[in-house]
Amino acid sequence: MRVPLSWLREFTPVEEPADRIADALSFLGLVVEASEAVPSPFDGIVVARVLATRPHPSADRVHLVDVDAGDGEARQVVCGAFNMKEGDLVPLATLGAVMPNGMEIGRRKLRGEWSNGMLCSAPELGVGPEGPSPAIFVFAPGSVSPGQPVAEAFGFGADVVFDLEISPNRGDCFSVVGVARDLAAGLGLPFSISEPPHFVAGDIEAPVIKVDPAAFELCPRFTGTVVEGVGEASVSPLVRRRLTLAGMRPISPVVDASNYVMLELGQPNHPYDISRLRGRGLGVRRGRSGERLVTLDGVERQLCPDDIVISDAEGTAVGLGGIMGGAGAEISSTTTTVLLEAANFDPLAISATGSRLGLLSEARTRFERGVDPELALRAVDRFVELLGPGVRRGPTVDARQGLPAPLEVPFRASRANAVLGTSLSEQQCASLLGRLGFEPVHRDEPGRDGLGGPLVFRVPTWRPDCTREVDLVEEVARIHGYGNIERTLPPRPSKPCGLAEWQRARRSVRVVLAGTGASEAWSSTFLSKRDLELAGLGTAGAVAVENPLDSSQSILRTSLLPGLLRAARSNRERQAGALSLFEVGNVFAVPAALEARVTGGQVPRGAAAEAESLGPSSGAGGGLVYRAVKGIVEWEQLGMVAVGSGVDAGYGARAWEVLAGALRLSAPALVAAPMEGAPIFGALAVTGALHPGRRAVMTVAGRSVGVLGELAPEVAARSGLVGRVAVLLADLGRLLSHPPRPWLAHGVSKYPAVDLDMAFSVAEVVAAADVHLTVTDVAGDLAEDVVLFEVWRDSSLGEGRRSLNFRARLRAADRTLTDDEVANVRERVAKAVAERHEGQLRGR
């Protein structure tokens, strides 16, 4: 909303400098987005008196006019218009003046005669429309005097325009009056609005106004007034100037007056050409299914029963109530009599119709935020006043039903102080509210505390947003000033606080992965199905976005993999070398579709129910895993992708090893299990993405938490990545939901250790981890540590076999081990490995 300062000053005598006013407005909640200083358009243009007019000796299209610009000297001006006579007061652009169109006035000789300036027409000054023949603007006699600047004569000069952002609750501030009222209240200045004259011509017949009973609900007030003589009417230059400053184009006196009233008072209104209205009147009804109307913007609109239709007296639609008039009864240059509509409409109905039709208008903006229902008659009077003495208006037909009575709201100063942290007296509150038009009407019965009842205030009709005590409390705070509220800290909660355990663990995940050299990425939640396919993932169960920004962002990610692959590729395209990226973020799916794909029953059936609850406190095991809203399940995933020389599936396995250790995961393992049934949801669909011989399932305490491995070569190629790509995808909730390994302290032995090296020839298909487990298990308490320190492959071992070289550090807590004891361990381990894994102890 653009508001010229001069217009505000009509209602409140604000004298502060413009920047102070802008601050004051901002601190009332009327955010000043920009203040624009507008210079006077008429520098160097003054009022002059016509002394004489003479013919030009050698031209008959122009004549010579002698004028006095207030200094008593006669100046000769050559002029092409002939409408002035001796004694007339006219605008003279003096030498050096710059016209609104940019033309500079200089001393010029025309056919041998000097012209010392230029007399100006209304269009040249930008204050009126072009007439049928060129005419110089003539001031009304007595209103101005020679030498006076024209800006002053018109009542306007330099100005400041505030561009305000009005919040949706303040319908009243979509008007100059509303802004002025708040500003006056904020600055403690008087505010007044003059009553426009109200003359009703007795000989003008009242129009026909028919409101369908079923429409009162949507249109509780509808007024119609016939205004005659608008064909010759004009509006003052000031009106046109202000409309221009407010951002509207002056069009014709009737339209200008209508717009001016709307901007000034906030009452949208609509003049119809009465000669184009059948039945000489208007009706209001609901729209009919299938009904069509061409609105003023030339678009044909499909109507429905929730719409408010303005019709002529015979029922034909002529406008969309509260939003836009129809093209049919539009006023034109030949219009002489209008039927002016000023009404009140239901905000929700206007909002629903407007958003359904995608139709924005000044009227909609105001009605959907709430217009003062008592404004209509004033608006009619003001409209007539603006069109000048030449027009005559008849009686107003005022159809109203179901308008709410002025609201009365009980208010307790004690409540205001409790909410605000202030110590204002009731009298102070009443005074602050009074500045905004809230009037105390009576006092309610005392409450149970016996401390005197609340003071009941009548809410001004222009503030439909204030319906509750707390709304009045806000008004008190606003006018009192938010900055004047004393600041303190709230009482602190008495229980210990801190991050939840799973939140701390999640931080550890990030820190540990960064410690492996990976950098954290943040990719968009939006993907396309093609992104999933490119990454070798299934598309079933993906949640679609109804109104995506574009088709490449039409679904919610079911996996972090596509985003990470894209990030890896774009980095490679920018000449990045090796790269390791990880991300922690939410992924989404429709569970029904995914559950159907799972075999082995690993998807928690209760996931949706589990998820409905809030926060980590509710999930079993302490971590929130799934959240489901309206059948969409989301859960947090951990993803990692690495590319570069030396990268293969083992990269992820090594990262897992670090992660498992740092998080003290309980019995972490990598299982080369078949993928079916093991992982869950998004991770499951990874099957197609990973190299079939180079993938493993990560498990914690025997429960799968995710997959890692190497991207299948065809997927890597499709993703534009060269070389092997390491991938790790885990379900974060599952990863963190099992309690960590217990923290038990073991004393350290002071006795010497014996390191026992054992190399086993084992088939390639046997997992090293299984052999390691056997060694550790059989060596028992004596094994302080068992490591796989080398893997050796050679054809001498036989087809499909390799040598796993373990070193066990044996040590007893209470003695030095004997050679026999060590040999015994060696025997038992060798036997177990032979039995369980068909492994042969080498070198003996």
Partner 1 sequence: MNAVTQAAQRGKELVEGARSVAELRAVEPEAFGKRSAFARLTGSLRDLAPTERREVGRALQEARSELEAFFGKRMAELEEQEASRRAGSERLDLSETALLARWAGGGLAEAPPSPAMRGHLHLVTQVREELEDIFVSMGFEVMEGPEAEDDWHNFQALNMPPHHPARGMFDTFYLDLGEGGSGGQGAPEGGGERGPSAVLRTHTSPVQVRLMESRQPPIYAVVPGRCYRRDTPDASHLPVFHQIEGLVVDEGISMGHLAGTLDAFVQAFFGPGRRARLRPSFFPFTEPSAEFDVTCWVCHGVGCRTCTGSGWVELGGCGMVDPAVFDAVGIDAERYTGFAWGFGIDRMAAARTSLADLRDLLDNDIRFLSQF
Indicate the DSSP class of residue 274. G
Supply the minimum distance, in Å, between the C-beta of residue 415 and partner 1. Answer: 9
Binding mask 59-98 for partner 1 (x = CB under 8 A): ----------------------------------------
- Looking at this protein, which amino acid is placed at residue 696? A
Query: Judged by CB under 8 A, does residue 500 bind partner 1?
Result: yes
Question: 3-state class of 664 per DSSP?
Answer: coil
Whether residue 743 contacts residue 664, with contact meaning beta carbons closer than 8 Å, is answered with yes
Nearest-angstrom CA–CA distance, 302 and 300: 7
Q: Regarding beta strands 579-589 and 519-520, do their DSSP bridges make them parallel or antiparallel, or are they unpaired?
A: parallel
Closer to partner 1 by CB, 258 or 361: give it: 361
Cα 449 from chain centroid (whole Å): 45
Supply the minimum distance, in Å, between the C-beta of residue 482 and partner 1. Answer: 4
Query: Judged by CB under 8 A, does residue 487 bind partner 1?
Result: yes
**Part in contact with partner 1 (CB under 8 A); list of ranges 107-115, 153-161, 272-280, 613-621:** 613-621
Backbone angles phi, psi at 525, to 5 degrees: -75, -20
- Which of 180, 211, 239, 420 touches partner 1 (CB under 8 A)? 420
Whether residue 417 contacts residue 410, with contact meaning beta carbons closer than 8 Å, is answered with no
Question: 3-state class of 776 per DSSP?
Answer: helix
Query: Judged by CB under 8 A, does residue 314 bind partner 1?
Result: no
Residue 465: CB atoms within 10 A of its CB come to 17
Closer to partner 1 by CB, 307 or 381: give it: 307
Query: Judged by CB under 8 A, does residue 804 bind partner 1?
Result: yes
Closer to partner 1 by CB, 236 or 580: give it: 580
Q: How far is CA 117 from CA 63, 93, 360, in A?
A: 14, 6, 46
- Which of 631, 674, 739, 780 touches partner 1 (CB under 8 A)? 631
Query: Judged by CB under 8 A, does residue 612 bind partner 1?
Result: yes
Q: Report the sign of the C-alpha dihedral through residues 558, 564, 567, 568, in that order.
A: negative
Question: Which residues are within 8 A (CB) of 818 and not within 5 positions of it... i.e. 6 or more apart?
Answer: none
Query: Judged by CB under 8 A, does residue 515 bind partner 1?
Result: yes
Query: Judged by CB under 8 A, does residue 662 bind partner 1?
Result: no
- Which of 334, 547, 551, 795 touches partner 1 (CB under 8 A)? 547
Sites for partner 1 among residues 520-539 (CB under 8 A): 520-526
Residue 249: CB atoms within 10 A of its CB come to 10
- Which of 375, 399, 560, 624 touches partner 1 (CB under 8 A)? 624
CA atoms within 13 A on the CB side of 739: 5
- Rg of the Cα atoms in the chain: 42
Supply the minimum distance, in Å, between the C-beta of residue 240 and partner 1. Answer: 31
Sites for partner 1 among residues 425-484 (CB under 8 A): 468, 470-471, 473-474, 477-478, 482-483
Supply the minimum distance, in Å, between the C-beta of residue 254 and partner 1. Answer: 30
Query: Judged by CB under 8 A, does residue 170 bind partner 1?
Result: yes
Supply the minimum distance, in Å, between the C-beta of residue 265 and partner 1. Answer: 20
Q: How far is CA 290 from CA 218, 300, 306, 326, 358, in A?
A: 20, 12, 12, 17, 18
Question: 3-state class of 840 per DSSP?
Answer: strand
- Which of 352, 377, 832, 841 touches partner 1 (CB under 8 A)? 352
Supply the minimum distance, in Å, between the C-beta of residue 480 and partner 1. Answer: 10
Query: Judged by CB under 8 A, does residue 114 bind partner 1?
Result: no
Supply the minimum distance, in Å, between the C-beta of residue 744 and partner 1. Answer: 17
**Residues 150-161: b if buried by 16+ CB within 10 A, e if exposed:** bbebbebbebbb
- Which of 140, 451, 549, 745 touches partner 1 (CB under 8 A)? 549
**Part in contact with partner 1 (CB under 8 A); list of ranges 208-216, 248-256, 674-682, 763-771:** 763-771
Closest CA to 654 of 593, 611, 716, 710: 710
Supply the minimum distance, in Å, between the C-beta of residue 51 and partner 1. Answer: 52
Question: 3-state class of 321 per DSSP?
Answer: coil
Closer to partner 1 by CB, 84 or 690: give it: 690
Sites for partner 1 among residues 552-611 (CB under 8 A): 556, 567, 570-571, 574, 576, 579-582, 585-586, 588, 590-593, 608-609, 611
Supply the minimum distance, in Å, between the C-beta of residue 421 and partner 1. Answer: 3
Supply the minimum distance, in Å, between the C-beta of residue 631 and partner 1. Answer: 4
Nearest-angstrom CA–CA distance, 66 and 253: 33
- Which of 267, 516, 528, 803 touches partner 1 (CB under 8 A)? 516
Closer to partner 1 by CB, 31 or 110: give it: 31
- Which of 402, 692, 739, 740 touches partner 1 (CB under 8 A)? 692
**Part in contact with partner 1 (CB under 8 A); list of ranges 6-14, 258-266, 429-437, 496-504:** 496-504
- Which of 294, 299, 418, 717 touches partner 1 (CB under 8 A)? 418
**Residues 206-221: b if buried by 16+ CB within 10 A, e if exposed:** ebbbbbeeebbebbbb
Concatenated DSSP letters of 334-360: T--EEEEEEEE--HHHHHHHHHHHT--
Query: Judged by CB under 8 A, does residue 722 bind partner 1?
Result: no
Supply the minimum distance, in Å, between the C-beta of residue 704 and partner 1. Answer: 14
Supply the minimum distance, in Å, between the C-beta of residue 541 and partner 1. Answer: 7
Concatenated DSSP letters of 125-144: HTSS---SS-----PPTTS-
Closer to partner 1 by CB, 377 or 419: give it: 419
Supply the minimum distance, in Å, between the C-beta of residue 588 and partner 1. Answer: 6
Query: Judged by CB under 8 A, does residue 543 bind partner 1?
Result: yes
Query: Judged by CB under 8 A, does residue 508 bind partner 1?
Result: no
Binding mask 377-416 for partner 1 (x = CB under 8 A): ----------------------------------------
Q: Report the sign of the C-alpha dihedral through residues 110, 116, 117, 121, in that order.
A: negative
Q: Which residue has the tokens 């019995």?
A: 667
Nearest-angstrom CA–CA distance, 315 and 287: 11
C-alpha distance across the termini of the chain, in Å = 94
Total of residues contacting partner 1 (CB under 8 A): 146
- Which of 485, 620, 722, 813 touches partner 1 (CB under 8 A)? 485
**Part in contact with partner 1 (CB under 8 A); list of ranges 112-120, 204-212, 237-245, 648-656:** 648-656
Query: Judged by CB under 8 A, does residue 489 bind partner 1?
Result: yes
Whether residue 303 contacts residue 288, with contact meaning beta carbons closer than 8 Å, is answered with yes
Biggest CA–CA distance in the chain, Å, is: 141
Query: Judged by CB under 8 A, does residue 503 bind partner 1?
Result: yes
Closer to partner 1 by CB, 252 or 774: give it: 774
Concatenated DSSP letters of 591-605: HHHHHTT--SS-S-T
Nearest-angstrom CA–CA distance, 440 and 451: 18
Query: Judged by CB under 8 A, does residue 769 bind partner 1?
Result: yes
Residue 356: CB atoms within 10 A of its CB come to 14
Concatenated DSSP letters of 430-465: HHHHHHTT-EEEEEPPP-TT-S-PPEEEEPPTT-TT
Query: Judged by CB under 8 A, does residue 305 bind partner 1?
Result: no
- Which of 95, 673, 767, 812 touches partner 1 (CB under 8 A)? 767
User: What would the 3-class secondary structure string for 65-105 be?
Assistant: EEEECCCCCEEEEEECCCCCCCCCEEEEECCCCECCCCCEC
Query: Judged by CB under 8 A, does residue 813 bind partner 1?
Result: no
Supply the minimum distance, in Å, between the C-beta of residue 556 and partner 1. Answer: 7
Supply the minimum distance, in Å, between the C-beta of residue 714 and partner 1. Answer: 9
Indicate the DSSP class of residue 193. -
Closer to partner 1 by CB, 88 or 731: give it: 731
